[in-house]
Amino acid sequence: MQFLLFLPALLAALNPHPGLAASVIRDYTLDIVNGPLAPDGFPRIGVLANGTFPGPVLTANKGDTLRVRVNNKLTDGSMRLSTSIDFDGVFIDTDNIFNEGSPFVTTCPFGPNTSYTYEFPLGNQTGSFWWYSQLSVQYADGLRGAVIIYDPKDPLAKLYDVDDESTILTVADWWHNTSTEGLASYMATQIIPVSDSGLFNGAGRYQGGPLTPYAAVSVTTGTRYRFRLINISARTSFTVSVDNHTLTVIETDGVATVPLEVDVITLHAGQRHSFVLTANQPVGNYWINAILSGGNPAHNLNLNATLGRGILRYEGAPDAEPTTPMTNGPPSPGPGALAESNLRPLVPIPAPEPDFNLTFVTFMPVNKTVWEINGVAYVPPLVPTLVKILDGASADADFNETENTFVFPANKVIQVTFPPNPDDELHPFHLHGNNFWVVKSNDSDVINTINPIRRDVSAMGNGGTILRFTTDKPGPWFFHCHIFYHFAAGLGSVIVGGPEQVRQQVHPPKAWEGLCPAYDALPPEQQ
């Protein structure tokens, strides 16, 4: 009888997330190595996890804990030898923020022949995410992959029959030169490197290159598939469609959406969408169009955007390319194109009124390879933001101007307005550790505070964008452009919420405390 009395308390301790199955620890090991690859047929050495590109898919269920041991085994000094892994879009609690992986904000990178283990409970979050190196533009060399958190009780499960690793789709830009060469070229010329090719599920072609096989996705007639489409690019937007098929969007950046039927989806760097596709066409092969947009093609004659594609292959169809022409698919923007302003969350949460207002004006000065927010280009500090907060930093003035750090009390609502800027290029801004309400999308003049989409990457450009988010999760969080060449040139900021609460809640382990001294002791060529 006594045991029965204590049973509820025991179950509560084992399951801190009511309504979920008992948490399972999902263990993964990523060995970061330099290895050969040729995703578009051009051979080079890259930075790879477990020797693959894209890297291993990390999967878990709602309520699980993700534990990822990263072993840095890099040896090629032509690329960065240190690393730090970020899990884009995955929420991390304040008391665990040291596992967030943002170099010089929440942690320091770690050098060759060392390891670090990231561990974080996933709580109630579900959806499509990705992991990558947050250090400089290192992930352009290949260090990137998907993270999927499944919901065993998905309220939209009735719309599809298949949702597994075979339905994860990635689009990515790819360079034949290393990221260090690309960044040096950008700093010298102000011209962001244009990729040599666009990849669909890790395969593609470049102009004049070999006829590398396109990645094929298998389907069976009459079956409905939930495809999780993730743009793991370092710069590029992709416009994705499937010949003769419609796409029903049901998720945006980890947020379930009211089903929305479209015929083409544009994703900017870092964005994700799930869509349902019904295999209802005659048995055959159909082009999956993954058309790249990122810079002036004249800056790289290897790039042929039309060669970015995959194949939807019905069971019973020959192992061959479609016989239909390669096209760019339906127009975007266009009558059937996905518009961010048309997305609605399945569970609407009105955007609260702001307590603080920021205006971010992005600008690239003439003859200088820097990007600025309100006249300031972000420069990573020598001492990470989190370390400074733990040591007592509590106000904007406690940080260098070039840290572009904005400090707010906990539990406040912040509104960030990006004014229309017809002379600027598009910037997909990403907020770490949180979602924001897109009160006004770049593609619309409508202000929506009733049921706007919540996501973590949204485009800023000539139409103007308004975002709102809360500081109910204290900590320093990166808020930056996901075109990583822009980010490396200064287009970033840090939002700090509740520094006093951070000091109360954050108690880092010794493994984390040792990262910065070890990194600082490395010779520059190993950093």
Cβ-proximal residues to 397 (8 Å cutoff; 6+ apart), any chain: none
Q: Letter for the amino acid at 230?
A: I
Taking only the tens of pLDDT, the chain with its 527 residues reads: 333 333 333 333 333 333 345 689 999 999 999 999 999 999 999 999 999 999 999 999 999 999 999 999 999 999 999 999 999 999 999 999 999 999 999 999 999 999 999 999 999 999 999 999 999 999 999 999 999 999 999 999 999 999 999 999 999 999 999 999 999 999 999 999 999 999 999 999 999 999 999 999 999 999 999 999 999 999 999 999 999 999 999 999 999 999 999 999 999 999 999 999 999 999 999 999 999 998 888 899 999 999 999 999 999 999 999 999 999 999 999 999 999 999 999 999 999 999 999 999 999 988 888 999 999 999 999 999 999 999 999 999 999 999 999 999 999 999 999 999 876 678 999 999 999 999 999 999 999 999 999 999 999 988 999 999 999 999 999 999 999 999 999 999 999 999 999 999 999 999 999 999 999 999 999 99
The domain defined by 165-342 folds into Immunoglobulin-like (2.60.40)
Name the segment(s) of the chain with CATH classification 2.60.40.420.
2-156, 165-342, 356-521
- pLDDT, residue 5, reads 33
The encoded tokens of residue 252 equal 């945006």
Q: In this structure, what DSSP letter does residue 321 have? A: -
Grouping H, G, I as helix, E, B as strand and the rest as coil, residue 449 is: coil
pLDDT of amino acid 294:
82
CA distance linking residue 46 with residue 25, whole number of Å: 30
- As to burial, measured by CB atoms within 10 angstroms (0-12 exposed, 13-18 middle, 19+ buried), residue 416 is buried
- Give the pLDDT of residue 21: 52
pLDDT at residue 22, rounded to an integer = 61
Q: Provide the CA 456 distance to its chain's centre, in angstroms.
A: 8
Tens-place pLDDT, residues 86-141? 999 999 999 999 999 999 999 999 999 999 999 999 999 999 999 999 999 999 99
Q: 356-521 adopts what CATH topology?
A: Immunoglobulin-like (2.60.40)
Instruction: Quote the pLDDT of residue 14.
Output: 33
Let me know if domain 2-156 sits in CATH 3.40.50.10540.
Answer: no
Tokens 């840095």 belong to 72
C-beta neighbour count of 15 within 10 angstroms: 14
Does the pTM surpass 0.85? The reply is yes
**Phi/psi class of residue 14: alpha, beta or left (left: φ > 0; alpha: ψ in -120 to 50)?**
alpha
CB count within 10 Å of CB 362 equals: 21
What is the model's pLDDT at position 368? 86
| Inter-residue contact 456 to 298 (CB < 8 Å) | no
State which amino acid sits at residue 267: L
Residues constituting the chain: 527
